[in-house]
Amino acid sequence: MGIAVIFPGQGAQAPSLGAPWRDHAAWSVVERAEAATDTELAALLLDAPADDLRRTREAQLVVFLSSLMAWETARESLPVPVAFSGHSLGLITALVAAGVIPFDDGCRLAVRRADATQAAADRNPGRMAALLGADYDQCSEACKAAPDACWLANDNAPGQLVIAGTPDGVEAASARAKDVGVRRVTPLNVGGAFHTPLMREAAEALEADLASTPFAAGRIAPVVSNTDAEPHDDGEAWRPRLVDHLVKPVRWAATMPALSSLGASTFVEVGPGTTLTSIAKRAMPDIALRNVSSPADLPVPLEV
């Protein structure tokens, strides 16, 4: 049996995530990313206050770079993974880690994706809310309270669904969710309605950028996509998947068993936070779980 490497998405950001890496060899990831994108990135990882990191663009770049620094070091002590995946933004990180997108191109793509989703969120304001203890029927019934204004955005695990839409749409759907017996509705502190039609402008912008992004077949292991929860190692076909990825729900509940079916007995979450291993702990109790978020987590103790 083997390991699956998974990468977190937006929401895992926090101030000073780069500090533990500043004097580590992995800091070269930030320097290479700055050169590739002609963008100042170090300050985001070292000095940006929490309020700045609530913005979509800054949050995505901090999580992306922190995850890549952790992977740069963790891969030296890990066995070759049987698969990769990532939640939302983490899918871009997974494609870079798996060798599907070259590092420089992946950094440029991450910056463009962050810019495009920020612009779409500014033009089409949205909100998200977690429905805890909800099932599909309850989620569907809740969204019916706001037709074309609220949708399922994340299917994270049984009983953990996330809706997103316009502010009025999410408010109406949240109220309806309580009426149909959802145990708890928790607004999320995010800056847009991600993985819904409100991100269509971002998807169109990213589609143009993806036309010039080189893709290769997975050089290390297949990457499981969020949109269909299937493993892929077909290179160029990732372009339409990544466009769809911005406007379709994240199917993380189905992604986890897909990783297991590829031979993973251990999930290693690489990057800030423990969101994905916390989800897996409840949904996949037979899977061993590890986290790498700073140099203190290395080498990774494994029994595979």
Binning pLDDT at 50, 70 and 90, where does residue 138 land?
very high
* Whole-number CA gyration radius for the chain: 18
Range of the domain at 158: 127-187
The residue out of 142, 164, 187 marking a domain boundary is: 187
Q: Which residues contact 12 (CB under 8 A, 6 or more apart)?
A: 63, 66, 271, 272, 273, 275
Q: Same domain, yes or no, for 83 and 134?
A: no
Taking alpha carbons only, the member of 181, 90, 72 closest to residue 137 is: 181
CATH number, position 160: 3.30.70.250
| Percentage of residues of the chain with pLDDT beyond 70 | 99
Higher-confidence position of 304 and 37? 37
Torsion of CA 219, 11, 253, 175, to 10 degrees: -150
Q: In the predicted model, what is the mean pLDDT of residues 26-39?
A: 96
Residue with tokens 């109406």: 172
Average pLDDT over residues 262-280: 97
Q: pLDDT tens for residues 161-211?
A: 999 999 999 999 999 999 999 999 999 988 899 999 999 999 999 998 899
> What integer pLDDT is reported at residue 303 of this predicted model?
64
Tens digits of residue pLDDT in 44-95: 999 999 988 988 999 999 999 999 999 999 998 899 999 999 999 999 999 9
pLDDT of residue 54: 86
87 catalytic residue (yes or no): no
Residue 264 has pLDDT above 70, yes or no: yes
Selecting among 66, 85, 87, 195, the annotated active-site residue is 195
Kindly compute the dihedral angle of the four CA atoms of residues 189, 194, 197, 199, in this order, to the nearest 10 degrees: 110
Give the span between the Cα atoms of 294 and 28, in whole angstroms.
Answer: 15
pLDDT score for 304: 46
Is 245 one of the catalytic residues? no
The domain boundary, picked from 168, 187, 206, lies at 187
Percent of the chain at pLDDT > 90 equals 88
Looking at the predicted structure, is the pLDDT value of residue 217 above 90?
no
Among candidate residues 66, 67, 85, 88, the one labeled active-site is: 88
Residue 89 resides in a domain: yes
Do 91 and 235 belong to one domain? yes
- The enclosing H or E element of 177 equals helix 167-179
Number of C-alpha atoms within 13 angstroms, CB side, residue 243? 16
Q: Say yes or no: 174 and 256 in one domain.
A: no
55 and 149 housed in the same domain: no
**278 and 144 share a domain?**
no
Question: What is the per-residue pLDDT for 235?
Answer: 85
Tell me, what's the pLDDT at 190? 86
pLDDT tens, residue by residue, 91-126:
999 999 999 999 999 999 999 999 999 999 999 999
303 in a structural domain: no
Q: Within 13 Å, how many C-alpha atoms sit on residue 166's CB side?
A: 10
pLDDT at site 236: 87
- 302 occurs within a structural domain: no
CA dist 120 to 59, 63, 103, 192, Å? Answer: 15, 20, 25, 8
